Amino acid sequence: MAEIINGKELAKKIKKELKEEVIKLKENGINPKLAVIMVGNDSGSQVYVRNKSKACEKVGIDFKEYLFEENISEDFLLETIHKLNNDSSVHGILLQSPVPKHININKAFQTILPEKDVDGFNPVNVGKLTIGEDTFISCTPYGIIKMLEEYNIETEGKNAVILGRSNIVGKPMIQCMLNKNSTVTVCHSKTKNIEEITKKADIIISAIGRPKFVKENMVKDGAVVIDVGINRLEDGTICGDVDYEAVSRKASYITPVPGGVGPMTIAMLLVNVVKSAKILNN
Ligand code: NAP
């Protein structure tokens, strides 16, 4: 039976340490602050933003929401980002995705000052990750790396298979695992015979958004299985990309959904905000 990687507990520990750090920063006159922009009223985004707000409050990070109607212009959004770039009381800027189709999200990410880009989506930070420089790593892959480290899971020389190639999870995850000296294979919707590839994986990281896609017969004995997926089933319950019960019997380590990658993503966002507050204040 697999050992459960408890993201919720690890996130709690990280937040406890951050709280202490924030107290010290405040004693030195630095008040870490995150600005979150949300355009439209996507129900999933509302939940994510609320969770981020609560997490900031817990560790003492100031949180300011900018909620805009779906029909705002791209120019207005970029103007808002510029204002936040120039506001020295703001250390982190996050644009919640998705945004309405008339807004070019890449252009918006590029407008966020790299030093305040706590989500790690600005191409400058993406590039720095690629060449192995210190940067803001996108929060979900960063959280996964922290979990692997915390549980002393060997990555060097291991076959890591990543399912999904999105800009926010799959692609930065490829780079993170390369930086950890894994041999990385990435699969996507056009990949043929995925199960033949996953069966050879020492580490599987699934970020495709397909409920229970990763079945027991796709996983080799003793593999480490990281489930990024958050899928809402018809009965309202949430499940991951992995058939958790069955795969648990074969894997050596597994992350649950909820309580695995999700809480770690938020914890790493807070880590990045504190880091930006320190960098911006030397
Ligand atoms: P996304 O932008 O929709 O990307 C999905 C990726 O999966 C794409 O690369 C797609 O391939 C691939 N894919 C889709 N169906 C596939 C299939 N049947 N076989 C193989 N590959 C397939 O999604 P995302 O934003 O990366 O998110 C992925 C999942 O993670 C979602 O459930 C999301 O809610 C969750 N998520 C969780 C967290 C967290 O903190 N836990 C954070 C972010 C996202 P193509 O490129 O070929 O289309």
User: How does residue 15 score in pLDDT terms, banded at 50, 70 and 90?
Assistant: very high
Which atom of ligand 1 is found nearest the CA of 260?
Answer: 41
In the residue annotation, 52 being an active-site residue is answered as yes
pLDDT of amino acid 147: 98
Query: Domains in the chain, please, with CATH?
Result: 29-113 (3.40.50.10860), 139-262 (3.40.50.720)
Residue whose CA is closest, atom 42 of ligand 1? 140
Residue 165 C-alpha to ligand 1 middle, in angstroms?
Answer: 7
Residue 134 C-alpha to ligand 1 middle, in angstroms?
Answer: 26
Residue whose CA is closest, atom 18 of ligand 1? 189
Residue whose CA is closest, atom 48 of ligand 1? 189
Residue 24 C-alpha to ligand 1 middle, in angstroms?
Answer: 38
User: How does residue 218 score in pLDDT terms, banded at 50, 70 and 90?
Assistant: very high
pLDDT tens by residue, 109-125: 999 999 999 999 999 99
Q: Does the pTM of the predicted model rise above 0.85? A: yes
* Ligand 1 pocket mutation, candidates 119, 139, 208, 226, criterion most atoms within 8 A of CB: 208
pLDDT tens by residue, 129-161: 999 999 999 999 999 999 999 999 999 999 999
pLDDT of amino acid 282: 86
Considering 52, 212, 250, 275, which one is annotated as catalytic? Answer: 52
In the residue annotation, 96 being an active-site residue is answered as yes
User: How does residue 56 score in pLDDT terms, banded at 50, 70 and 90?
Assistant: very high
The amino acid present at 164, given as its one-letter code, is G
What's the average model confidence in pLDDT over 10-35?
Answer: 98
pLDDT tens by residue, 164-206: 999 999 999 999 999 999 999 999 999 999 999 999 999 999 9
pLDDT tens by residue, 72-94: 999 999 999 999 999 999 999 99
Considering 117, 119, 227, 243, which one is annotated as catalytic? Answer: 119
Three-class HEC string of the chain: CCEECCHHHHHHHHHHHHHHHHHHHHHCCCCCEEEEEEECCCHHHHHHHHHHHHHHHHHCCEEEEEEECCCCCHHHHHHHHHHHHHCCCCCEEEECCCCCCCCCHHHHHHHCCHHHCCCCCCHHHHHHHHCCCCCCCCHHHHHHHHHHHHCCCCCCCCEEEEECCCCCCHHHHHHHHHHCCCEEEEECCCCCCHHHHHCCCCEEEECCCCCCCECHHHCCCCCEEEECCCEECCCCCEECCECHHHHHCCCCEECCCCCCHHHHHHHHHHHHHHHHHHHHCC
